Structure formats: structure tokens, C-alpha cells
Structure 1
Amino acid sequence: MEGKKRKRSSTSSPLDSYHSFLKSLVGQEVQVYKGGPESKKGKLMDVQSDYICLLAQENEQNKEKNKEKEQNKDKDKNQHKPRIVYYRTEHLQSIGENTKSNSMPRFHEEEPEICEFQSAGSFNELMQHFIRKHAQMNLGGPESKSGMVLAVSGSYIALLTEDDGVVYYNIHHIKSISESTQKQNEENDEQEVLIPDFIEADDFHDLFGKMSHKWVSINRGGPQAIEGVLVQGVGGHYTIVNNDEVLRINPFHIKNISCGPKGSFKKTKQSHQKSSKEENEENEEFESSDETRSFQSKQRNHKSSDRKTSRKTSGRTSSSSSSSCMDFRHEKVIKTIDYIWKPR
């Protein structure tokens, strides 16, 4: 019996054998997922306990675009950097290897430049490196979203998105994550990023308790996307109430959640920008009206001063004219002629 127990303990689990199989592919050209939005070809860079790191290749369309951009390298250097994608092995359905291309001999000159990537003990620890950075959650599909990672706590992350504001993602349902270079360039151009208030909780379950009796949006798209008032239930489930419909859901199967209806954050932001713009325009108009009033008052003062000066000059001209008349009256008589009238 003891020998049998030792044999059982020495045998490795299927997860360990699968993990060792992935480690043997490090440095090889592989294809993650056979198809779909998460499918990518590239070089396997690293294998950790619950995730892998892939140096993804560019598509043919992206290659043609980058050829045109190579002429203007100084405009944007970050667009030419290769993309690193981190896949969670729990959702990794398949990984393929092109044995023909991997068997061909390679020279040191053909080796690409060394690309920097993050290495952590687990996928949750990897999330810490993305705080205050723009990241892409999932490469495609209805739950794909990009934004700034605000916080990582327990089993969820808080992502600031452009449309829905702060979206709380369940880390268990994240298939892949990658750094968004396009959003990073926009961040460098902007001086400040306005960060709204967001909920802080110990884990995803505690987050639901703090969202109780609020209008929430669950999942971004697909048939499982719902909206309504969240009511905390009994027995580990929650209730969503929307008009006459009452839905009871399991928090474990919720991929992400956000407060308010979908797209409300963008509308609120646009209305706020519009009101601030109108306020600035009103202030500019008020300042311009003050300037025109001051200018008009200056013109009036100038006209009144002109009138006073004109009166002074007119008085001077009248006095000069009278003096000229007096001078004419006092002129000397040089010659006189006497006329004698003869009678007829």
C-alpha cells in the first residue's frame, strides 16, 4: 500500500505536463488559438504559472501600412514597436507549432531585436505592472475594451474606458491583456487625465455588495449583457430588476460590471465639455463687452476733450479776427480826392 501511495504522489498532474509542454516551445514560432479574435501568430517569449507571453506578428495589412510609415519614423516611434500579448493559460484552447519553419537553420543576423516584456509569478501579479497605463482587455469580441488601468484588487481590475467610465473586470474571465501603444501616445500628448471616483473593494464579490441598489450594466455585449438595479440576494446570487423583468445571476459568471447605463459616461462628459465651452464663450463675450464699453467711454472722453479744445480754438480765432478788424480801422489815409458836383 505504501508503494502504491508513493507511485501516486510521484505522478504529475495533467496541468503540470501541459505547463512543461509550453516551456519546451519558448523561443519557437507558434499560433495561439486556431481562429477567432484572440488568434495570434508570433514568438513565444515566456511561460509562467498561469500565463504565457507572446511576441505577436503583424498582419499583412499592418505590414503594408508600416512600410508607408517607415519613411516618417521620426513622427511616431512607438507604432513600430512589436506588440506583446499576455494570454491566460486557463482560457488557452490550443497552441500550434509550425515545425517546418522552426526546423530551418537561423543565423544571428536574422534574429530580431530583443523585446522587453513583463515577467511576474502569476497573472494577478502581472496586472500590477499595468496600473496607470493604457491596456487592451481581450483582443476582440464583445468583451474587448481598452482604457487606463486604475487599480488591481483581489480578483478584479478597474479600467477607465471612454464610453462606460470605470468598468470592473473579473480577472478570471480575462483571456488576454496587452499594452495599447496608440492610447499611450495620446496620453503623452495630453497634460492631465481626469480620473473619476471609483469603488474600492477587497474582491469581486465585495464589489457587488457596494454596488447594491444601483443601476448597473453587466457585460459589454453579447446575449448575456443586461442592465438594471442590482439587489443583493441570499444564497450567493444577485438579482437584477429592470421594469417587469427580474433576473437572478451568479456573480462568478459575470465578466465585467459598471455603474450606470452603457455609454452614459461619454454623454455626461460631452455635456460637461459643452457646458464648460458655453461658459467660456459667455466669459469671453462678457470680457469683450467690457472692453467695448471701456473703449466707448474712452472715445466719449476723447470727443468731449476735442469739443473743449475746439471751443478754445474758436475763442482764439474770434479774438484774432477782432484784433484784425481793429487793425484795419486804424490804418492811415494816404490820399484823398475831392469831388465837385457841378449843377446842370
Structure 2
Amino acid sequence: MARLDAGGPELIAPVLEALHALVGFDSSGYFYPGADGALDAHMEHPAVQAAVPDHFDPRILASEARVFHNVLQHGDDIARHPHGPRSLAQMLRVPVDGLLRSDYYNVVMRPAGVGDWLSLPLRTPEGRGIGMLFLFRPAGARPFGSAEQLALARLEACLASVLRPAGLPDEAGEVLREGLLVVTPQGQPLWSSPEAEALMAQAFGWRWRGVGRAPLPHALQLLVQRQHSPGAPAPDVALRNAHGCFHVRAAPLAAAAGPGEAVALHVTQRMEPGTRLLAALRPLDLPLRQQELAWWLARGLPESQIAARMGISANTVVYHRRQLYMRMGAASRDDLLAALGVTTLGVTAPAR
């Protein structure tokens, strides 16, 4: 994946799937800056995901700061962590007994079944934080050792390349789901379709507490406020996270009879073409060269450019293309795309 022109937090699931085969761990998590700069979190295990809102409780954040050398409370904190993988023991500023007595352990770690971890902050070449990866083992399991730290360190540049966001999503791609949320002009939720409830939870993570349970996430509050700007186009917000690409658009609603007004928030989840292609390629278990070649063929690149991208000769591209077509039962580029269930993702090239 690191050699392809795709990246972002929506690739965290296949990344973690691949890591399981390289570094032994029970479950994992990934913290990364969200659309509003606050931290988003993706956790493999439901019990760990359920503990995420407690992590951001002010009392628990204060406890975290007392027991660890470096905290993880805001997006900017990622770049403040030392370079390279570190174990839980290396991050502690107190003895283990102090951790076990802390609110952080008893509210977040113990209910989630986390006994040890290996963490790795990821940065851009300019030093900005991309995200922070955590590999977890349960209490009583063998602690992470130096060999596993070294294995994870070797993957740091590759992981940063794959998970670095590729920018905000546009409105291209397949629509997966849509929903509607109705709020007051002050941002108080009034009604939500079941689809919107589920989509908002995916789009805004722990910041979405449900209709009637808490104020809207800050990004949605700003969206509702922008809706009142006279003469402005319909405001919207776009974001991408571990669950995919989302757009939320605000529009005014007037009461059918009598006074009153509200704001409709239309939320859409899309799958970008590149993500769809990667999802189609992953279960095929193709050799790496053929998988990369299939990607560039779907991107519409001619073979001369594919050779340059892959660092091989044009003749070698032709050889791998023939092997790929034979494996997929395809006679042309169009046949290959049809077999993958995708359309050309880039500049159209002559089918071969």
C-alpha cells in the first residue's frame, strides 16, 4: 500500500490486519487528528472502543498526565512523543503500582482488558503528527519485548506513508448510506433517522453521544451557525476517518404551519474509487507485483508510466500483466476492471 497513491485513516483496518501477521498482539488502536483538530480513535476491539469516551473525560486526562511522561489529549500531542516505538513501561513516569491505583487504569485500561501496549507515533517528513498506533496485550500476557519494538520500528516510514491523509474527500465515489438529522437553529437535535444516528456515530466518533444526550459536535455546531449567513451557499463539512469519507450539508427548514424553523443536516457516506479498488484487491491474495500492477492499470496509466512507477522495465510490466490477466480470467484491461467490480480511476488509457 505504501507504493500506491492512496492513503489516510480509512486504510487503518487493512494495515492492522497486516500487522497481526508481523507483530503478535491481541487488539490494537489508532488515534489521529479529526476534521476539527480533536483526536479521533479507531479501536479493533469493541470493549476498547467503548472506553474511548472515558479517555477524554477531564478527570481521566488529568490522571493520564500524572502517570505517563507524554499524554495523548489533542492532535498536536502526537508530534510531542519521542520518535520510535515505546512500551507501556517506557512511557510510565510512576511505578507500576501507581498506574494500577490510578483512575486512568481503573476507568480506561482495566475495563478494556489492556495490560500492556506498544505505541508508535507517526509523523510527516515535516514533523507533523499523522497518528499514533497502539498494539495491546491483555493483563497476564507476555510483555512486548525489544524484538517486537525493532520490528515495528522498521515499519514506521511505511505506516506513515500509508496512513497519511490524502486531503479532504470530494463528492466523487459510490454513495454507501445517507441520513437526515433535524436540529434547532441553536443546534439542539430534534429528530434523527436511524441511518443518520449510525452515520453520525461513525463520522464523529466519541464526540457524537446521540440525539438528546449531548450538544452537537463542535464541527456541526459551526455548520449550523454558517447556515444563517445571508446569501452564502449551503454550508457543508467534509471529513475522512477510519470509517470512510463523509459529507454533511445544512439546509433551512420552515414549519408547514405556524411559526417555527429548523435546520436539516444531510449526512452522506461515500467510498472513494481508490478505497473500493483496494477493498476489491485485498481478498484476492495476489502476489505483490500483480496487486500493484492491477492498481496502476485501474488508475489508467499506460505501461511506460507503470514501469517508471514500479521501478521495472516495460517488458517486465508486460510479463506481469499477462500473468495477472491469466489469473483473473481477463483478456483486456476492461475485463480486469469488470472482474474487480470497479471503473477506471484515472486518465483513461487504451485497453490492453
The TM-score with structure 2 as length reference comes to 0.21
Q: Which structure ranks higher in relative contact order (CA pairs < 8 Å, sequence separation ≥ 6)? A: 2
The TM-score with structure 1 as length reference comes to 0.22
